[in-house]
């Protein structure tokens, strides 16, 4: 059984012309049930020790944008400490054998070629179909758990239901139940997923997937990715 945690980065809804957010990215973190406790405890211990050194409460939620851009509770904290925290969060993915799948939508191209699609729904199509195929190959099942996304929740639930009931071109058999939405403040894995999504989108916008220091920490764990509507994609998992 796999728990599949999802988070987005660069979400501007149906506004496809924001020059500061050219890509909408959705990333899924696949966590095998046997690795859940170990990874969760490692993350909570990391927060406890690191946030204590920063004189912050252990319950402080980790948002990549806050840590990287010294916002919110991380405002004014030394860059070196924030970079170390970022690296240690991303290291947990590789150290615990987690897998990543991500899908990005080029908003300007979407507006030109596939305007009826909502970028979040289009990105989810790849995530759902790849995860279902991968789970089929490994004889496993999966359950989606996503960060709360106002305006998108019912749409994604309806899309997944359609895939499960073969009402769409792409059917799924290994994805169970509906998508369960949760507050990231209550989930270690949604916070880890937030870091992965943020730094993946950042590297993509910079055109530096191969060179970005943060993306390179998690790239060995990426099983597949795609950029719509280019049709550019890569599958790396066995």
* Domains defined along the chain, listed by start: 2-235 (3.30.420.10)
**pTM, full prediction:** 0.93
Distances (CA, A) of 229 to 77, 103, 104, 116, 226: 40, 11, 9, 13, 9
Give burial (CB, 10 Å; 0-12/13-18/19+) of 143. Answer: middle
Reported as a single tens digit per residue, the pLDDT across 122-133 is 899 999 999 999
pLDDT band at 168 (very low <50, low <70, confident <90, very high): low
Extract the tokens encoding 25.
């990215």
Which residues, listed in sequence order, are joined to residue 145 by a DSSP beta bridge? Answer: 5, 180
Average pLDDT over residues 93-116: 90
Q: Identify whether the C-beta of residue 24 lies closer than 8 Å to the C-beta of residue 120.
A: yes
**% of the chain exceeding 90 in pLDDT:** 70
């Amino acid at each position: 059984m796999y728990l599949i945690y999802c988070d987005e980065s660069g979400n501007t809804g149906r506004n496809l012309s924001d020059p500061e957010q050219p890509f909408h990215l959705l990333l899924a973190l696949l966590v095998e049930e046997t690795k859940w406790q170990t990874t969760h405890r490692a993350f909570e211990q990391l927060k406890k020790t690191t946030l204590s050194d920063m004189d912050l409460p252990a319950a402080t939620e980790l948002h990549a944008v806050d840590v990287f851009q010294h916002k919110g509770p991380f405002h004014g904290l030394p860059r070196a400490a924030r970079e170390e925290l970022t690296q240690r969060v991303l290291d947990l993915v590789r150290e615990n054998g987690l897998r990543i799948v991500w899908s990005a939508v080029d908003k300007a191209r979407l507006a030109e070629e596939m305007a009826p699609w909502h970028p979040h729904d289009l990105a989810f199509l790849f995530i759902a179909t790849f995860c279902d195929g991968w789970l089929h190959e490994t004889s496993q099942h999966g359950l989606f758990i996503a960060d709360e996304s106002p305006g998108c929740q019912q749409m994604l639930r309806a899309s997944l239901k359609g895939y499960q009931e073969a009402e769409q071109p792409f059917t799924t058999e290994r994805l169970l139940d509906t998508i369960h939405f949760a507050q990231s403040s209550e989930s270690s894995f949604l916070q880890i997923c937030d870091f992965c999504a943020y730094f993946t989108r950042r590297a993509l916008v910079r055109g530096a997937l191969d060179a970005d220091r943060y993306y390179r920490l998690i790239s060995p764990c990426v099983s597949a990715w795609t950029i719509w509507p280019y049709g550019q994609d890569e599958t790396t998992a066995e």
